[in-house]
A and B are shown apart, each in its own frame.
Chain A
Amino acid sequence: MILRRKIFLRLSILLLLLIGAIVGSLMGFVIREHRTESKRANLTLCSTLAAGIERDILWDDRVAVRRELMREIGAHPHFEYLFVVCDGQPYVSTFSNTVPPALLQLPKPGLENTFVREFVNPDGAVYYDVQVPVGRAGALLRLGVKRHAIDQQIQPVLSMMLLIGLLTFLVGLFVASRIAWRTTAEVTLLCNAIRSYGVPGEAGLSGPTVDSTADVAELAEAFHNLVADHKQAEMVLREREAALSEAQRLAHIGSWALDISTGSLMWSDEIYRIFNLDPGSFEPTYEFFLSAVHPNDRELVDAAYAESLKNKTRYEVVHRLLLSDGSVKHVREQGKTDYNEDGTPLKSIGTIQDITERKRVAEQMERLMAAINQVAEVVLITDVKGAIQYVNPAFEKVTGYSREEALGQNPRILKSGEQDAAFYKKLWATLLRGETWSGLFVNRKKGGTFYTEEAMISPVKDADGQIVNFVAVKRDVTSELKIEEQLRQSQKMESIGQLVGGVAHDFNNLLQIINGYADITRASLEPGHAAIASIEEVSKAGLRAKDLVKQLLAFSRQQVIDPKELDLNKEIETSREIFGHLLGENIRIKFVAGKDLGMVFSDRGQIHQMLINLCVNARDAMPGGGALTLKTENVLIAPEDLKACGLTRPGRYVLLSVADTGCGMDKQTCEKIFDPFFTTKEVGKGTGLGLSTVYGIVKQNEGHIAVCSEPGQGAVFKIYLPVSQPIPAGIINSIIKNDASAEGGLETILVVEDDALVLKLATLILSGAGYTVVTAKDGVEAVRVFEERADEIDLVMMDVVMPRMGGKEAMGKILKKRPALRHLFTSGYSPGAGHNDFIKEKSLHLMSKPYQAEALLQKIREVLDEDRKTEA
């Protein structure tokens, strides 16, 4: 029986310790007392001996003294040595040789000459050194005694004490065994009685029969009752455990308990399920639990538990589990620890809840909310009464109302009054039918600004189909509408331009023929011929038609231009006189010239035409006189200003403002002011092309024009023109050649032109000026002709737009053969991004059609003489 053995063992140990301590203490006491007594006895012996040898010393009878000392040594076997010291020197000793010096040098313990001191021999033996003075002889007697020898004297006593201790211990052992037997006898009886119970779980316990003292029988009876109660309680407990397990399964919460002293961990079935394990399949441990925690969360979980132990607090931590099948679960873990009185942790208990599903839903919600918060569209949710319950950040940005200001309000805070009651009635009718309404609102921001938004409003229904909320998704489309309007305007102008451009091109070729042949005919007639007057009228009408076409081309931005670096201030100053004539005396001109104004790269003719058209427009707006102010200045357009300025490229611009004090315009007029043929003048008073031409010129120069005006308040036109890049070399050459006088030559010129009449006219002009002319009808023919007569040809004049092979390609092939060949292009128009853009880019020579004979000859000479001029 374990208890009996334990009692016996503990009593035995206790007895051993007790007897050991007592015997040890007694032995120690006896030894100490014996040693003290021995010292005292040795002192006495020594004193007696000293008295005995005093006279011999006084008589200096060393033999007698030595004899006495030797006799004493012989009489006392435990004496190790005896010697006498006189005046610090050994006088007589029992040592076979001399007295060891260290003995003489032993420190004196006090002032007295009588004492016992101890020293130790290198062999470990302890000695008592007794010293007494020898009467009046002025000498000292020293006696040495080995302590072991003293201890030996009481060896029998010590042995007896040990024997008594041993016997006592043996008796104690016997008593201990009896006590153990007696103490456990009753318990053994009771145990036997308890063993007489049936197999656990069997119904109907039979009480034990205990043939013993009344106490034990009573105890057995009580135990019987206790077992019965325990069985009952166990049954109830099992039921509750089953209920708890079911509850845990439903709630996905498992419970655990960790015995800190043993390290054993208990899991409820639900925790096994959470960990995808078979309940009872193995013994869980804290280490296993930690290994199942997601590696990234392991430190967090361990730290949370350690922290709770340190601070003696509860802990709660949400973390992930990485299960053996690779799946990840989210759990919420809570726990607390019980401690004993001195603060040692005993047991930790807690729960683990599987919150994977909840977490997934929460994350979806978070994503949804993040999406709603981040979208550009306004999201607004109201209850059925229209009170705002939710607005997203886009709402705040668009309307200017903060979320706090909006919540609880009715969306009518945005009402602008632009929609009538019928509009809202229809809207509500749609919504209350449970349908989605979509359409445009004009609403008012917090600051009062109106804005247009495209809205889609839907009712939100609950499970019973009852409308519980309305949700509106809206988008501010104000800018889009504006851009759409601008696009529409642009497209309209573009269409008109293309129409006008197409007609004007063909019309130009006709005019070239009419005017050309009129000139030839007039030249061939004798002076005073009757037909001269008629032909001159034809020429005049032709020239007017040419101007008209030029304006149309300017509007359609298809006018052939010759752009140069221009100082706008200079151009205005140059034209000021003309403006005076145009405006008349009633209108004052004021010019505010910008300082260090940037250069613009434009066609001088176009700029002059633009200025004149603007002046004419102002004059017509001020029939009763007034003032016209022209102002130039440098402006820098930042990217963020582009939209406001209507420009597409940021950078440096020259701003020309033309302000009049005329009648002004309403909004509708302002919107159509640049439309071609739109005029506010009487029929026949204007072409309706003046401001359209200005618009076209500005656009062709990659600028922008805007007008600000109100009726009666005059008007201000603002024209932005880009400041030019550094001047290309070709442009400089062309400027120099402008001064060259028109003259003919003897060189050979290849003229390439698909229009037979124009080709014929050019041949006439050039051959008339002395040149040898070779012709070709298109690019293919031109390349072939050049190959045949390459050595003869000094210059190639080629139309840009031709069938089969265009001027650009043909000229490329020819130049490949002779890169240094002089050449120029002719063109009746430049259709947008095509055809003659390369001429402008490469600063090539261009002759615009229709051309005057003199202008052509001047240009030809300029190209032929290019190198000579450069060298000069």
Chain B
Amino acid sequence: MIATGVKRVWLAAGLVVFVASLLQGCGEKRPIVDLAREAERKPSTPVVTAEPNETLRVAVGAMISPEITREYYQELMELVAKRVGRRVVFSQRRTYAEINELVRTHEVDLAFVCAGPYTQGHEAFGMELLVVPVVNGQKIYYSYILAHRDSTIQSFADLRGKRFAFTDPDSNSGCLVPTCRLALLGETPESYFAETFFTGSHDSSIKAVADGLVDAAAVHSLIWEFVNTVEPSDTARTRIVGKSSAFGIPPVVVHPDLDGDLKHRLKILLLSLHKDPQAIPLLQSLQIDRFEEGEDSMYDSVREMYQWLNASDREEAP
């Protein structure tokens, strides 16, 4: 009888080991989530949407890659919004045109735009120049033609038959200037280059040259300087083979119909921002000395170039 009992114990023990080994890890406590149960329908609230009276909606044109833009601009804009008693809603868009559209439709209160888009916006709906940044003591910038450090390209003339990178179709330095230059030569990008790309931003174009994805690219001089500071490994692998004449620095703009009081407060704030101890390090990281009053005439050269280019396009059109 006792022997029978011992046998049963052995058998039971074996089964326990067997089952336990199969069920190992099954005893954890997990929360219950009903995947079939949906949330109540609410109006979609995009990340850029906020209450107009409580937020300061800021957009930055895609001059640099959106990641870097966000990294460097977000904090500064938060401070600006805070100084005017608001919460910032930070927006970026793939193209310059989209930023201009946000300004036009009052979806943003304040925007950092490139020189080209400014002239276009100004012309389209009276985009208003609020202030301009002063970088390295100047309110100008250039279009650089970059080639890989190790390439044989020495000048713009060496670019024929090469792969070339533009930034944005509306970019002054990244697209308009080289296109205009080709136009002067009677060429088009398609005729002159073997292959062209739009990288979307200047730092992407720099990286594309540095990585050898393209043979050359046209970029914003201040962006190149900025990347040269924050990511020198990229710029180190490039070489500037061409430089345009100076253009007015990309401005800070608002819609002409923006609430006057806000517009005024923003302008005063930005003009004195370099005196704000909290803003100083943020401005320094963006390599901006301060903000100053700007003049629309600063962009006449750009405006002229556009007009010329458009005119030449019309002439060429059938």
Contacts and interface: CB of A to CB of B under 8 A. Distances in A.
Interface of A: 13, 16-17, 20-21, 24-25, 27-28, 32, 54-55, 57-62, 80-81, 86-87, 89-91, 95, 97-104, 106-107, 118-122, 126-127, 135-139, 144, 261-262
B47 A21 contact: no
B25 A32 contact: yes
Contact of B71 (A60, A101, A136, A261): A136
Interface in B251-296: none
Contact of A59 (B25, B33, B36, B92): B92
Given A59-B66, A59-B92, A60-B47, 20 more contacts: A20-B18, A21-B21, A24-B19, A27-B22, A28-B24, A54-B67, A55-B200, A58-B92, A59-B62, A59-B93, A59-B94, A60-B46, A91-B47, A100-B33, A118-B30, A120-B31, A121-B32, A121-B34, A122-B32, A261-B2
Contacts of A61: 94
Contact of A126 (B1, B30, B67): B30
B185 interface: no
B47 A101 contact: no
Contact of A55 (B14, B36, B38, B65): B65
A103 B30 contact: no
Given A55-B65, A119-B31, A126-B30, A100 B93 contact: no
B221 interface: no
Contacts of A55: 65-67, 200
A102 B34 contact: yes
A87 B63 CA distance: 25
B150 interface: no
A100 B36 contact: yes
B45 interface: yes
A87 B47 contact: yes
Interface centre among B10, B14, B48 (most CB of A within 10 A): B14
Contacts of A81: 35
B28 interface: yes
Closest 3 CB pairs of A and B: A17-B14, A58-B66, A24-B21
19 contacts: A17-B17, A20-B15, A20-B17, A20-B18, A32-B25, A54-B67, A55-B67, A58-B69, A59-B62, A59-B92, A62-B46, A95-B38, A100-B37, A100-B38, A119-B31, A136-B70, A136-B71, A139-B47, A261-B2
A100 B35 contact: yes
A28 B21 contact: yes
Contacts of A144: 35
A581 to B, nearest CB: 120
A100 B46 contact: no
B32 A102 contact: yes
Given A101-B39, A118-B28, A21 B14 contact: yes
A476 B28 CA distance: 103
B11 interface: yes
A343 to B, nearest CB: 14
A480 to B, nearest CB: 80
B45 to A, nearest CB: 6
Nearest to B93: A59
Given A60-B47, A62-B46, A21 B39 contact: no
Given A21-B17, A24-B18, A261 B67 contact: no
B137 to A, nearest CB: 30
Q: For the complex, would chain B's binding face be called helix, strand, loop or mixed by DSSP majority?
A: loop
B41 interface: yes
A136 B47 CA distance: 14
B173 interface: no
A121 B97 CA distance: 46
Contacts of A25: 21
Contacts of A118: 28, 30
A482 to B, nearest CB: 85
B34 A100 contact: yes
Interface string B170-214: 000000000000000000000000000000100000000000000
Contacts of B39: 90, 98-101, 104
A61 B62 CA distance: 14
B45 A89 contact: yes
B235 interface: no
Given A13-B11, A24-B22, A60-B92, A98 B41 contact: yes
Contacts of B30: 118-120, 126
Interface centre among B35, B40, B69 (most CB of A within 10 A): B35
A99 B38 CA distance: 6
Contacts of B34: 100, 102, 121-122
B91 interface: yes
Contacts of B14: 13, 16-17, 20-21
Given A17-B14, A24-B22, A98 B38 contact: yes
A55 B67 CA distance: 7
Contact of A28 (B25, B32, B37): B25
A137 B25 contact: no
B208 to A, nearest CB: 15
A99 B19 CA distance: 37
Interface centre among A28, A60, A62 (most CB of B within 10 A): A60
A135 B93 contact: no
Contacts of A62: 46
A13 B10 CA distance: 10
A81 B22 CA distance: 29
Nearest to B13: A17
Nearest to A121: B35
A136 B67 contact: yes
Nearest to A25: B21
A118 B24 CA distance: 16
Contacts of B65: 55
Given A25-B21, A103-B33, A136-B67, A97 B38 contact: yes
A127 B33 contact: yes
Interface in B87-128: 91-94, 98
A622 B36 CA distance: 147
B48 A60 contact: yes
Nearest to B67: A136
A58 B99 CA distance: 13
Nearest to A125: B35
A119 B92 contact: no
A55 B71 CA distance: 13
Contact of B91 (A32, A60, A91): A60
A447 to B, nearest CB: 77
B141 to A, nearest CB: 23
Given A97-B38, A118-B28, A135 B33 contact: no
Nearest to A107: B31
A107 B28 CA distance: 15
A103 B38 CA distance: 10
Nearest to B94: A59
Contact of B33 (A32, A60, A91, A120): A120
Contact of A60 (B1, B25, B38, B93): B93
Nearest to A51: B67
A398 B4 CA distance: 77
Contacts of B45: 89
A57 B36 CA distance: 27
A99 B11 CA distance: 50
B33 A102 contact: yes
Nearest to A19: B18
A89 B228 CA distance: 37
A28 B17 CA distance: 12
A58 B67 contact: yes
A225 to B, nearest CB: 31
A144 B35 CA distance: 10
B70 A58 contact: yes
Interface in B78-92: 91-92
B309 to A, nearest CB: 26
A16 B10 CA distance: 12
A28 B11 contact: no
Contacts of A126: 30
Contacts of B91: 60
A13 B66 CA distance: 68
A104 B70 CA distance: 25
